[in-house]
């Protein structure tokens, strides 16, 4: 059997024996010493296996394509040369490879299933954790609202600290900002504020009265399938859009300049400014043009409107909206607002919608929750203070119809609103706060967490998303009383007060201290000369 035997058996000449083999094959077995196939018992088969072990076949050197070719050869050719091929070893390797492939496939399947199950479990845990946090927030609100009766021994500060931590985790704020916003409201109202920031504000459009009327615009949009209604009694040009089968920013009416997509809160500073026809007005931070075009519409394209913005890229959108809405009385300029009135001054009215942190529009920009720090608020507050002084100085107090300046932000923090207005009142005593002319909104803070502001700050107005269903906003209106603020020098003021006291009291006896005109004449003249050098005018002193 071990010897190589090339046996060629014609297919048409084979005949089977009683063992089921062709006769010539049976003869060959007999020549090899095998009388019958029955002799291949279990014992004899081991000898055959041993004898075939000398046949070698190197499968490691074959590629996949060569394996396939070999398989095809086994199928197509019955006459296989077994000199260099170990059939048993090849079979074992094939079985082993097949088993490995099956194991890999099973492992991959199990891994995918495990990942899906793991992801599902993680999601459930996360949901259950958030639900637990939310329940704890609601329970802490209930306790803090009635702390005297429901407190369980822990201090109020411990409850507040736990609540701030939970709010930060549940709504996704950083620790600094969540505390700053939480302190603005009572406990229950604070949760309402955070919840409102998770819901987008309604879409509002402003009718461009230079081209159409609100009734006609509303009817045209309703004919296109838009569901809308007036934004409120406080505005005669606003429409609130509930749903639209067409993009509200791509209708023929929009492209024709019949309306402007504009948040309801940004109507407020323009309504407060109350521009008149033929006035000279400055919008100090105008881009993208919603307030500017509203001012021009109220002016009926008369007078002169200067639309300034410090960002040249944003000025492109400003120019585009001015052209689309048919504004013809505006001049677009690109200056830092702090350069006014050096660039241009003596305006009848000035609107300053100052750059701010955006804490009133979190529903539009969720990144505010994490990217605002204490340094950001300090920097913005400093910039706002510089801008508000420049805006006040740009107003002409002698204007026959105006002399007003409106300051607004889309922020709800005290540092950017009441603190800035109070700073302006201290630095510019020639201005005062007046009513905003808005018949709704909450009063500004006259005091906040131990810090007292000017009492007239109750004339300012605050707007919140959870109470007014609009972006958080702040509006303050100033009236300029004089173009220059005259200040009395401390020494002069002190001397004048002493003179008044002595003159009112009179000299009752010779030991009482009083003024000697001859002795004080030189001092009074020196003060008068000093004041003349500084102001170019005769100083004001008591005689």
Residue 73 contacts by C-beta under 8 Å, 6 or more apart in sequence? 80
Task: State the Cα–Cα distance between residues 309 and 291, nearest whole angstrom.
Answer: 12
Side-chain half-sphere exposure of 391, counting CA atoms within 13 A: 33
Enter the tokens of residue 432. Answer: 């005062």
Residue 265 contacts by C-beta under 8 Å, 6 or more apart in sequence? 360, 410, 463, 470, 471, 472, 473
What is the full DSSP assignment across 388-404? HHHHHHTB-TT-SS--E
Task: State the Cα–Cα distance between residues 439 and 272, nearest whole angstrom.
Answer: 10
Angle in degrees, 0-180, between the axes of helices 374-393 and 418-427, rounded to the nearest 10: 40
Residue 356 designated active-site: no
Residue 443, φ and ψ in degrees, nearest 5: -65, 150
Selecting among 304, 315, 333, 410, the annotated active-site residue is 410
- Closest among 356, 261, 401, 276 to 317, alpha carbons compared: 261
- Kindly give the residue spans of alpha helices, DSSP state H, lying in 198-311: 214-223, 252-255, 268-273, 290-299
Strand order in the sheet with 227-230: 227-230, 238-243, 203-207, 259-261
Q: Are 491 and 472 in contact (CB under 8 A)?
A: no
* DSSP code at position 120: H
Residue 376 contacts by C-beta under 8 Å, 6 or more apart in sequence? 357
What is the full DSSP assignment across 283-308? ESS-TT-HHHHHHHHHHTT-SEEEEE
The pairing of beta strand 304-308 with beta strand 280-283: parallel
- In this structure, is the dihedral angle defined by the CA atoms of residues 325, 327, 331 and 337, taken in order, positive or negative? negative
Please give the positions annotated as active site: 410
């Amino acid at each position: 059997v071990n010897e190589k035997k090339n046996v060629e058996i014609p297919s048409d000449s084979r005949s089977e024996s009683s063992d089921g083999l062709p006769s010539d094959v049976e003869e060959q077995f007999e020549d090899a010493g095998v009388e019958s196939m029955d002799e291949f018992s279990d014992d004899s088969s081991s000898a055959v296996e041993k004898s075939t072990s000398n046949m070698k076949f190197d499968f490691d050197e074959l590629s996949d394509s060569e394996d396939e070719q070999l398989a095809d050869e086994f199928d197509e050719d019955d006459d296989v040369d077994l000199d260099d091929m170990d059939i048993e070893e090849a079979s074992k390797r094939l079985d082993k490879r097949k088993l490995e492939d099956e194991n890999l496939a099973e492992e991959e399947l199990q891994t995918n299933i495990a990942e899906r199950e793991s992801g599902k479990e993680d999601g459930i845990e996360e949901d259950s954790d958030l639900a637990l946090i939310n329940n704890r927030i609601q329970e802490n609100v209930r306790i803090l609202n009635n702390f005297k009766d429901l407190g369980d021994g822990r201090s109020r500060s411990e409850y507040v600290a736990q609540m701030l931590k939970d709010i930060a985790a549940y709504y996704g704020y950083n620790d600094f900002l969540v505390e700053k916003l939480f302190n603005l409201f009572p406990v229950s109202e604070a949760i309402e504020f955070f919840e409102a920031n998770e819901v987008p504000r309604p879409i509002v459009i402003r009718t461009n009265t230079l081209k159409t009327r609100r009734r006609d615009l509303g009817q045209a949009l309703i004919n296109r399938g838009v569901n809308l209604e007036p934004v409120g009694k406080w505005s005669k040009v606003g429409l609130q859009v509930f749903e639209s089968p067409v993009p509200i920013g791509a209708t023929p009416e929009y492209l024709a300049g019949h309306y402007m997509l504009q948040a309801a809160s940004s109507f407020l500073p323009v309504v407060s400014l109350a521009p008149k026809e033929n006035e000279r007005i400055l919008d100090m931070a105008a881009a993208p043009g919603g307030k500017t075009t509203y001012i021009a519409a109220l002016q009926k394209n008369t007078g002169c409107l200067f639309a300034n913005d410090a960002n040249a890229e944003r000025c492109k959108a400003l120019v585009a909206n001015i052209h689309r809405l048919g504004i013809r009385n505006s001049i677009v300029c690109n200056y830092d607002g702090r350069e006014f009135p050096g660039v241009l001054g003596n305006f009848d009215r000035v609107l300053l919608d100052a750059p701010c942190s955006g804490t009133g529009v979190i529903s539009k920009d969720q990144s505010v929750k994490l990217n605002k720090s204490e340094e950001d608020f300090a920097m913005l507050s400093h910039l706002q203070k510089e801008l508000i002084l420049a805006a006040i100085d740009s107003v002409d107090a002698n204007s026959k119809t105006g002399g007003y300046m409106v300051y607004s932000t889309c922020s709800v923090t005290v540092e950017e609103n009441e603190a800035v207005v109070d700073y302006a009142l201290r630095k510019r005593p020639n201005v005062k706060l007046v009513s905003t002319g808005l018949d709704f909104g909450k009063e500004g803070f006259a005091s906040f967490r131990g810090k007292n502001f000017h009492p007239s700050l109750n004339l300012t107005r605050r707007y919140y998303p959870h109470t007014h269903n609009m972006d958080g906003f702040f509006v303050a209106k100033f009236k300029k009383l004089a173009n220059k603020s005259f200040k009395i020098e401390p020494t002069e003021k002190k001397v004048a007060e002493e003179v008044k006291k002595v003159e009112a009291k009179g000299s009752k006896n010779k030991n009482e201290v009083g003024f000697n005109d001859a002795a004080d004449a030189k001092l009074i003249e020196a003060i008068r000369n000093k004041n003349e050098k500084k102001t170019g005018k005769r100083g004001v002193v008591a005689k």
